A and B are shown apart, each in its own frame.
Chain A
Amino acid sequence: MAVSMKKAGMPVQDAQIRKTNFNEVALGYSAETAVEEAKRCLNCKNRPCVAGCPVSVKIPEFIAHMKDGRFEEAYQTIRETNALPAVCGRVCPQESQCEGKCVRGIKGEPVGIGRLERFAADCHMSNAVSENGHSDPDGPKAAVVGAGPSGLTCAGELARKGYAVTVFEALHKPGGVLVYGIPEFRLPKKIVSAEIDNLKKMGVKIETDIVIGKTITVDELFEQGFKAVFIGSGAGFPTFLGIKGENLNGVYSANEYLTRINLMKAYQAEYETPIFKGKKVAVVGGGNVAMDAARSALRVGAETVYILYRRSLKEMPARSEEVEHASEEGVQFQLLTNPVRFIGDEKGWLKGVECIKMELGEPDASGRRRPIEQKGSEFVLDIDTAIIAVGTSPNPLIRKTTRGIEVNRHGCIIVSEESGETSRQGIFAGGDAVTGAATVILAMGAGRKAAAAMDRYIQNNSGVCGPSSSRA
C-alpha cells in the first residue's frame, strides 16, 4: 500500500457545536491511525526533525516503537527528554519546529509528530503507570519558584536526582500558563493535573499561595536551608497599548480575561468569579494568546469576534492549527489593522474602537516586515469588549526583591545559556523569566538544563552557599 502524502487527519468536534462549549476540540488519534501515521516516518539518518525540537526528543526512535504498537516504550523514549509530552503534543507550534524540518514535508505533508507524541502520552496516562525515580526527603533541599512548565520540569528532574524539592507558586493552583492561560478546549486541565500528580508521586512538594518576593524572599529560602533556587516565574506582566480609552469598562488584558475564564472558571455557573459577556468583541494581537481569547469569547456567548492584527496572516505567530480552528468557528480576521483609540459612552463603557489600516514596509530588526499606517484609512468598529493580547514581560517582583540578580533592559533575567546560572551564585533561572514570552517547550528545555546545572552546583559546593557567599 502506498504511503499517503498527507498527514492522517485528526477527528475534531464540529465547529458549530464546539464554539458553544469548552471541551477539547482536537480529539486525538485512534491506535490504528497512530500506527498508520507512524509508518509515514522514513527514519532518516540525519534526523532533521530532532534538530527542530527544542528539547531534542528522539523522534525517529519513539516513532519506530509506535509502528509496532509499543506505545508505552514510545512514551518512555519521549520522556527521556520531555517532561510534559501530553502538553507539548498539543500546544507546540510543530510547523515551525520538528514538523517544519521533516523530510516528508518537502513533497506533501510532514509526519504528524505532535499528534503521535500526544497519542503516546494519552495512552500512558490512561494506563496510569507509576513514575520512575523519586525525590529523597532527606536529600539536599532545592527550591523552585513558579509552577509553570519550566519550574515543573526542573522540579521533576531534580526529584529524579534525589533532591528534596519544593515548588513555590503564587496562585492557588500550580501549572502557570497551562492553567490560567491556555483554555480547556486546547489543553484539558485534567492533563495538567495528571502531570502535576505525577510530580507529587515522585515526592515533589508544591506550596501554593506563596508569592516569592512578598510572602518569602529568595534570600530567606537560602536561610531555610535550600541549597539552590530555580526561578521560573515566567512573563506574566501584561503589555497595554497606551492608547486613549484603554481603561474603559469592557477593556481587558488577555491575562485578565483568560485568568477569569481558565483559572477562575467564570464560564461555569457554579463558580463565583464574574466575567463580562460581551456580544461584539475585538481581540488585539496575532499570537496564541489572541486566538485563545477570541475563541473563549465566542464560547461565553459573543456574536461577533474580530482579531485585529497589524500584520498579515503570514506573519501571525499563532499556531497554524489554532488559526484554522478560530476561523472555522467564525472568528473574523481584520488583518493589517491597528486600533488607534477606544471610544466609550458617558457611563464609561466601551462602545467602539477606531482602527487604522496598515501596509507592510521593509523587514525590521525582528525580521518581520514593519507595518506602516495608511493615512486617512481610519474606520470605527462597534464593539462592547476589547481584549489586549499584544504580549507580556517578566513580572518585576523577583528582581526587585532579590539582590544581585542582573536583568536586561526588558527586565529578563540574564543567565548563562548552558547552565541557566544567574549573576548570583546558587540561583538559576529559565523559561519566560529569561527569554520573555516564548513557548512551553523552550521553558521546559530551560528547566531541564538548569536542573542538571543545579545538581552539579550542589555537588561541588557541598551545601555551603547562600547569600553569605553571594558574588553580589
Chain B
Amino acid sequence: MFTIVEKRILNDSMTLMAVEAPYIAKKAKAGQFIILRVNEFGERIPLTVADYDREKGTITIIYQKVGKTTLMLDQLNVGDAILDFIGPLGKATELEGYKNVTVIGGGAGCAIAYPQAKALHGMGAKVDMIAGFRNKDIIILEDEMKAVSDHLILTTDDGSNGNKGFVTDALRKNIEDGAGYDLVIAIGPLVMMRAVCNLTKEYNIKTLISMNPIMIDGTGMCGGCRLTVGGKTKFACVDGPDFDGHEVDFDEAIKRSRTYSESEKEATREYNCRLMEGAKNA
C-alpha cells in the first residue's frame, strides 16, 4: 500500500498527488513513469513521474480525470493509500549534451514536460518552454515552469489568456527568429506531438517525444504498448517512452490508442452515474 501525502487540485480536470514510495523516489529520473492500481478490482494505468523527493521518499504524479480509473483515484485523499504503485519504469530521457532546448507541453502533457525542463535547466542548458492549453482556466504549473525555463510562452487555443494560438505557432516563430535549438522535446496529445514533429522536420531539428500508448504490465512482457519506430516494432514501456519523433508512425499510434474507447466510455458513464447517485443519497 502506498500512502498519499499531498493532494492539490490544479484545475477542474487535473490533480496533483504526492505518494510515499521510497524505493521509487530513490531511483526515479525525468522521463520515467509508474504504474498504479487503485484497488483490488482496478486496472493498471501508467502515469509519468512529475517530480520526486529523494529525501522525503515521495513521488509526485499529475493526472487528468479522463475516465473511470482516474475518477476513482480522485476519490482518494491525503492519508488514503493506493493499492499498487510500481516503478520507476521506462528509460530516463537522455538529456546530456544539449545546450539550447525548447520543451513543449500540451495540456496535461505539461506535467510530463516540466520534469524534463527542470532536469535540463539544472544541467545548465538554455531552456525555452512553450505550454499550450485549450483556455486560461486549465493552465497548470505556470510558476513551476517559469522557474525552470529562461523563457515561457503560454498559449491558449481560444486566446483567453491574451495569447491565442497553438504551440506550433509559437515554436515556428521562435525558430524563424533564430532561436537555434539543438533539441525540441514535445509532450502532449498525439496530434499535437505529430504537428510539432512535422514542423521540426522542416527545419531538421532533433525532436524527442514521450509516447503514451495503452499499457498493462509496463515491464515488457505483453507488447500491448507496441508502436512502430523507424519501421521497427518497439515496446514503449521498455524501449521508451521517449522516441525520436521523426521516426514514429503516428497514424498507427492514434488508431491503436482507440482500441478500447467504447468500453472506456461505457465504464466512465456508469461510474459517473453512480457517483451522482451517491451524492444525491448523501
Query: Which A residues are closer than 8 A to B by beta carbons?
Result: 170-172, 208-211, 214-216, 236-238, 240, 242, 246-247, 249-250, 252-253, 255-256, 259-260, 264-265, 270-274, 276, 347-348, 395-397
Contacts and interface: CB of A to CB of B under 8 A. Distances in A.
B223 A255 contact: yes
Given A170-B219, A247-B226, A256-B222, A214 B87 contact: yes
B259 A236 contact: no
Contacts of B85: 209
Contacts of A240: 223, 226, 233
Contacts of A347: 255, 258
- Which residue, A237, A252, A272, has most C-beta atoms of chain B within 10 A? A272
Nearest to B86: A209
Given A214-B219, A272-B41, A272-B68, 7 more contacts: A214-B27, A215-B87, A242-B233, A250-B259, A264-B44, A273-B216, A347-B258
B263 interface: yes
A87 B259 CA distance: 35
A172 B222 contact: no
B264 interface: yes
Interface centre among B23, B37, B42 (most CB of A within 10 A): B23
28 contacts: A170-B86, A170-B217, A172-B44, A172-B83, A172-B84, A209-B84, A209-B86, A211-B87, A211-B89, A216-B23, A246-B233, A249-B256, A250-B259, A255-B223, A256-B223, A259-B216, A259-B217, A259-B221, A259-B222, A264-B43, A265-B41, A272-B42, A347-B255, A347-B258, A348-B255, A348-B256, A396-B220, A397-B238
Given A211-B86, A253-B222, A247 B227 contact: yes
B251 to A, nearest CB: 8
Query: By CB atoms of chain A within 10 A, which of B42, B88, B220 has the most?
Result: B220
A215 B84 contact: no
A255 B89 contact: no
Nearest to B24: A215
Pick the most buried of B85, B87, B251, B259: most chain A CB atoms within 10 A of its CB. Answer: B259
B220 to A, nearest CB: 6
Contacts of A272: 41-43, 68-69, 267
B224 interface: yes
How would you classify the secondary structure of chain B's contact residues: helix, strand, loop or mixed?
Answer: mixed
Contacts of A249: 255-256, 258-259
Nearest to A255: B222
Contact of B221 (A210, A242, A273, A395): A395
A271 B216 CA distance: 14
A246 B83 CA distance: 34
Nearest to A173: B84
Contacts of B233: 240, 242, 246-247
B206 to A, nearest CB: 25
Interface residues of B, number: 40
Given A272-B69, A274-B263, A274-B264, A397 B219 contact: yes
Q: 5 closest A-B pairs (Cβ-Cβ)? A: A348-B255, A256-B222, A236-B221, A272-B43, A274-B263
Contacts of B163: none
Contacts of B221: 236-238, 255, 259, 395
B3 interface: no
B252 interface: yes
A214 B89 contact: yes
Contacts of A237: 220-221
Interface string B6-48: 0000000000000000011001000000000100011110000
Interface string B158-199: 000000000000000000000000000000000000000000
A215 B88 CA distance: 6
A215 B43 CA distance: 21
A335 to B, nearest CB: 26
Nearest to B32: A214
B100 interface: no
B23 A397 contact: no
B117 to A, nearest CB: 24
A273 B223 contact: no
B32 to A, nearest CB: 9
Most buried by B among A211, A249, A252, A259: A211
A194 to B, nearest CB: 19
Given A264-B216, A397-B219, A273 B256 contact: no
B31 to A, nearest CB: 13
A253 B256 contact: no
Interface string B204-228: 0000000000001101111110111
B225 to A, nearest CB: 9
